[in-house]
Amino acid sequence: MTDGSSIFRPEALEARARVQTPGDVVRLGATWTTWAFWGLVALVAVALIAATQIEIRSFATGPTARLGGRVAVLVPAPAAAEVVKGSSVLIGGREARVIAAGGRPMSTALVERRFGVEVDEPSVLIVTSARATASATGIARVEVGSDPVIVALVPGLRALFGDDDA
């Protein structure tokens, strides 16, 4: 090596000079991979934060009826247990609030006799803040709960977010 020749083997110099062809090992610069790694870590952190903060609302659907100048919704009995005063109600594109919830479930025959509405299962009457108008008839959706997105993705996490049903 005292004759001024390179300290590298000729094969190594040839491999270095050769243009990368399909099937060769991918070679990336250290700076690019460092930025990509930390960018990916930041993206995962943002996704986890968003998944715990963004909520998915659940609704029960039922027919509407008039009750003393207000719109009432006949919600299936199993879903009505989750309705609380102040919950959101969507009636024909308008939003209202629940002002009274609960009570005993009414049979399908009783609902039809009292309100002239057919239902498929025993229902509970939910009174809303919406005023009864001609456009307030039809189907309404009553909010019965909400969960963070992460609970929808990983159901076992429900216990961490305050729900004892897990």
Kindly state the helix (H) or strand (E) to which residue 37 belongs, with its residue range.
Answer: helix 30-53
Burial of 79 (0-12, 13-18, 19+ CB in 10 A): buried
pLDDT score of 49 more than 80: yes
Distant-in-sequence, close-in-space partners of 80: CB < 8 Å, separation ≥ 6: 60, 101, 102, 105, 123, 124, 126
Residue 166 pLDDT: 39
Q: How far apart are CA 76 and CA 132, in angstroms?
A: 21
pLDDT at 86 over 70: yes
Q: Highest-confidence range of 30-34, 86-90, 100-104, 155-159, by mean pLDDT?
A: 86-90
Question: β-strand 123-131 against 70-76: which pairing, if any?
Answer: antiparallel
Q: Judge whether residue 101 has pLDDT over 50.
A: yes
DSSP 114: H
Residue 152: the pLDDT is 80
pLDDT higher at 42 or 158: 42
Per-chain mean pLDDT for the chain: 82
Of 100, 110, 96, the closest CA to residue 141 belongs to: 96
Distance CA 156, CA 98 (A): 30
pLDDT tens digits, 131-142: 877 655 688 889
The domains found in the chain, sorted by start residue, are 10-53 (no CATH), 56-161 (2.40.30)
DSSP class of residue 105 equals P
The most confident of the ranges 10-24, 30-44, 68-82 is 30-44
44 confidence band (pLDDT: 50, 70, 90): very high
Q: How far is CA 84 from CA 30, 130, 144, in A?
A: 56, 16, 8
Strand partners, 97: 88
